Structure 1
Amino acid sequence: MFKKFTNACVNVVQKLLPDAFIFCIVLTILVFATAMSVSGMDPFEIANAWGSSMWSLLGFSMQMALVLVLGTALATAPLVKKAINSAAGVPKTPTSAIVFITIVSMIACWLNWGFGLVVGAILAKEIAKKVKKVDYRLLIASAYSGFVIWHAGFSGSIPLQLASYTEDIGKQTAGAVSESIPTSQTIFSAWNLIIVIAIIVVIAFVNAQMHPSPEDTVSVDPKLLVEPEVNTTKPSTKTPAEWLESCPLLSILTALFAIIYLIYTYKTKGSITLSLNVVNLIFLTLGIIFHGTPISYVNAITDAAKSAGGIILQFPFYAGIMGIMTATGPTGQSLAGAISDFFVNISNQTTFPVFTFLSAGIVNFFVPSGGGQWAVQAPIVMPAGNSLGVSPAVSAMAIAWGDAWTNMLQPFWALPALGIAGLGARDIMGYCAIVLIVTGIIIGCGFLFLVPFMA
């Protein structure tokens, strides 16, 4: 029965979900039309909000493109490839492969979302080479499913931001937060850790159960696994330019600069936050070291950059959607704000965390950025939670969980993994829809039954 339901979801998504860019355009049209009735803005004002915001994510787009490119280039280094191959050899059957990649991806994303997003997809691709008859679509979907817990982990932007109180936090929450909220009340709270562990265990089982029967299994396209040929022929003589290109000392010195910077940062600040920039610097440094020569790394980066097209094309459109969602018209109401207000108005102290989680999940579908979503919802949700007697830590984590939850149906975040895997959004979203339903139940029950007694 479960496999029939899964197959039905996969078939529906395969037929109805267009290419990720087409999906983005349809989403833009939908938000454009809805915002007119909610905010009272005319088409010209909404078009202005869209165009003015379209390039607001350029810095973030570059960060995400580098996560994909630098992570992929690192994975092609001989020593790293050997280590990944060893890890990929652990599972021996299709079912164990799905369980293994789900657990590894979940843990990696909980530690750091950027690291987990890339490592999970790369490892899944290597597993596909070794484990015969494993469904490649489900394998990549399982790797991406780990992303559902990122905002409840070490790199969760909302809980980390609240742990270091500034005046900006007070303004963002409309005065609802007046002091730091330690991570012991958010990331490392007992109720949050129980939800995380429950999701890891249950989703590993659910993903394994979704594996199609042999006749329905879609194996990996061999073309996706073809490694680029490396020219190992060494010329008898080298020009000065060729000598520099193959000089390991240049790679060592470049990597040394980055290592010195990281050491200096740790000494002066006492710690190093694994932001996207730091993760990319680590990927870059390790890639330079493990590729050995500058020209080898250049070739690896050139080859990896081919898969970044989806990010480059689509992220500006999502920035435009965010602009429409947050723009306010004559009514003083934005579309994102109206969604949040609706759920706040039907809540009480017990149901508020659940409804906040659901509203955050809906808003995230159109504003797929933790920072952007916090800016939209915090001024509404945090004061409302306080007035109902809900802990600010719980209100904030409800937003964080909602922000991560609907990523399972949002192609925005799947683009790096899809670029590495060589698949389209429709290939994995049918399976991710099941993950969305199951995790939604787990998280909702956690807020209803754990939080009232443990927060």
Structure 2
Amino acid sequence: MLNKAAKPLVKLVDRYLPDPYIFVLLLTLLVFVAAMMVEQQSPLQLVTYWGQGFWALLSFSMQMLLVLVAGYMLASSPPIKRLLDSIAALAKSAPQAIILVTLVSLLASWINWGFGLVVGALFAKALARQVKVDYRLLVASAYSGFVVWHGGLAGSIPLTIATKGHFAEDKIGIIATDNTIFAGFNLALVAVLFVLIPLVNRFMLPSDDESIYVDRDKLAEPEVETEAITRPADYLENSRLLAWAVGGAGLVYLGQYFFAAGGKLNLNIVNYLFLFLAIILHQTPRSLLTSLNEAIKGGAGIVIQFPFYAGIMALMVQSGLAQSISSGFVAIASADSLPFWSFISAGIVNIFVPSGGGQWAVQAPIMLPAAEALGADVARVAMAVAWGDAWTNLIQPFWALPVLAIAGLKARDIMGFCLMQLIITGIVISIGLTWF
């Protein structure tokens, strides 16, 4: 039944969803028009907001590019390729491959969202080298696990409100993660999704006649060519000692960061870990650079599109459009229904402001006073915003770009399957936030 229901969605997306670059251009124009009509802002003022915010995500753009590059280099190292292939060998059929990649992605994303994006995509490629399976659904399954990230250990909203000195502390105080990430309703919701999402993906599996398979030769990683060592520089490029010395120093820092300083996983640390493990596991600088040359080819979308999303975020926030969307839903809410409407409004805002921390800065000044006035559970409302932010990532190309670059697919190849997951998980999350 799910396979039949997914077919028209897959065909619809394949026919009408443009390249993510075209999508972000259309989204920019849509926000311009909406801000002029709803907020009565002048075109010149909106252009000013847009231009001033255009470069606000430069640091984050570099982080995302490194997620792609460092993750690819790590996975293409001989030991990691062998490990991924060994785990992938556990899957003996297409249904098993779909379920396995979804579970791995869910677990990795619950630990850390950057980790989940890279691990899921790389494991999908390893599975495709082992099992004959529809490659579009396999990669979509790897991406679908991303939906749980904001309810996991690296959720930016629950971690923000649990940190002393956060911007809303004067209104809600410090809310411990016992009331958010590790609250009963959130753990129950995560547990249900860990069962539901793999099953939905498995039952969307097309028949053999309708499946699209990938040429396994195209998934092979480039081999490092052995060149004669004729110059002193050649010795350095092939020096294991040089790679081990620098890579070892990086791992020493990580040991100090985690065990001595009590540091936690964040995007910078994930990238740092991937990079220095790749340096060591490739064994020589030449091997690492060969992998880098392949990895960087997939980063074009990140480089060109993220500045446009920064401009859209500035338009949404500075014009007041994001606040108006949130306020509209709050106006029809009650104490019991506020988490549901917070979730829906966050899902809509996330299409235009695809940043958990940025979205909380926009919605918190609206949702928190509403929760206080209605007598709603503040922790649950905060998690509703978090889940809404994660939910519509299923159809937001912004976050899919690293996965698509690693897998070698286009957004339209996977978004039809993700749209089905959006519908089903949206129903389940809504029930969970309201009734669990």
TM-score of the superposed pair, with normalisation by structure 2 = 0.98
- 1:289 lines up with 2:301 in the alignment: no
Distance apart, 1:223 and its partner CA? 5.6
CA distance in 1, matches of 2:105, 2:257: 28
Q: Per-residue displacement from partner, 1:167-187 (whole Å, max 9, x unpaired)?
A: 5343xxxx4222x21111111
Distance 1:89 1:261, change over 3 A: same
Contact 2:128 2:214 in 1 (8 A): yes
Give the AA of the match of 2:251: I
Distance apart, 1:41 and its partner CA? 1.0
User: How many residue pairs end up in the alignment?
Assistant: 436
CA distance in 1, matches of 2:167, 2:251: 32
Query: What is aligned with 1:164?
Result: 163
TM-score of the superposed pair, with normalisation by structure 1 = 0.94
**Alignment map for 1:393-404 (pairs within 5 Å):** 393-404=379-390
Distance apart, 1:262 and its partner CA? 2.3
Contact 1:138 1:428 in 2 (8 A): yes
Query: 4+ residue stretches of structure 1 with deviation over 4 A?
Result: none
Distance apart, 1:34 and its partner CA? 0.3
CA distance in 1, matches of 2:78, 2:175: 44
CA distance in 2, matches of 1:157, 1:116: 15
- 1:176 lines up with 2:162 in the alignment: no
Query: What is aligned with 1:107?
Result: 107
Distance 1:187 1:231, change over 3 A: same
Distance apart, 1:138 and its partner CA? 0.3
CA distance in 2, matches of 1:266, 1:126: 30
CA distance in 2, matches of 1:206, 1:152: 20
Moved more, 312-321 or 242-251: 242-251
Query: What is aligned with 1:419?
Result: 405
Contact 2:151 2:190 in 1 (8 A): yes
- 1:322 lines up with 2:308 in the alignment: no
Query: What is aligned with 1:349?
Result: 335
Contact 1:112 1:154 in 2 (8 A): yes
Query: What is aligned with 2:25?
Result: 25
CA distance in 2, matches of 1:258, 1:310: 29
Query: What is aligned with 1:259?
Result: 251
Contact 2:65 2:299 in 1 (8 A): yes
Give the AA of the match of 1:184: D
Contact 2:222 2:291 in 1 (8 A): no
Q: Per-residue displacement from partner, 1:361-407 (whole Å, max 9, x unpaired)?
A: 00001000111101100111112112211222111101100000000
Distance apart, 1:268 and its partner CA? 5.4
Query: What is aligned with 2:134?
Result: 135
Which of the numbers 193, 198, 202 marks the counterpart of 1:199?
Answer: 193
CA distance in 2, matches of 1:336, 1:35: 9
Distance apart, 1:207 and its partner CA? 0.5
**Alignment map for 1:56-95 (pairs within 5 Å):** 56-95=56-95
Contact 2:368 2:378 in 1 (8 A): yes
- 1:276 lines up with 2:262 in the alignment: no
The alignment partner of 1:219 has SS state of coil
Query: What is aligned with 2:148?
Result: 149
Query: What is aligned with 1:230?
Result: 224
Distance apart, 1:260 and its partner CA? 2.8
- 1:246 lines up with 2:258 in the alignment: no
Distance apart, 1:417 and its partner CA? 0.3
The alignment partner of 1:168 has SS state of coil
Distance 1:372 1:167, change over 3 A: closer
Distance apart, 1:313 and its partner CA? 1.0
CA distance in 2, matches of 1:283, 1:295: 17
The alignment partner of 2:384 has SS state of helix
The alignment partner of 1:321 has SS state of helix
Give the AA of the match of 1:139: L
**Alignment map for 1:431-450 (pairs within 5 Å):** 431-450=417-436
Unaligned stretches of 5+ residues in structure 1: 329-333, 451-455
CA distance in 2, matches of 1:32, 1:283: 39
Give the AA of the match of 2:134: D
- 1:383 lines up with 2:374 in the alignment: no
RMSD: 1.3
Distance apart, 1:252 and its partner CA? 1.6
Distance 1:232 1:54, change over 3 A: same
Give the AA of the match of 2:177: T
Query: What is aligned with 2:40?
Result: 40
Contact 1:357 1:401 in 2 (8 A): yes
Query: What is aligned with 2:347?
Result: 361
Give the AA of the match of 1:316: P
Contact 1:224 1:422 in 2 (8 A): no
Distance apart, 1:337 and its partner CA? 0.2
Contact 1:64 1:311 in 2 (8 A): yes
Query: What is aligned with 1:453?
Result: none
Contact 2:347 2:392 in 1 (8 A): yes
Unaligned stretches of 5+ residues in structure 2: none
Give the AA of the match of 2:193: I
- Identity over the aligned pairs, expressed in percent? 50
Give the AA of the match of 1:177: I
Distance apart, 1:42 and its partner CA? 0.7
Give the AA of the match of 1:377: Q
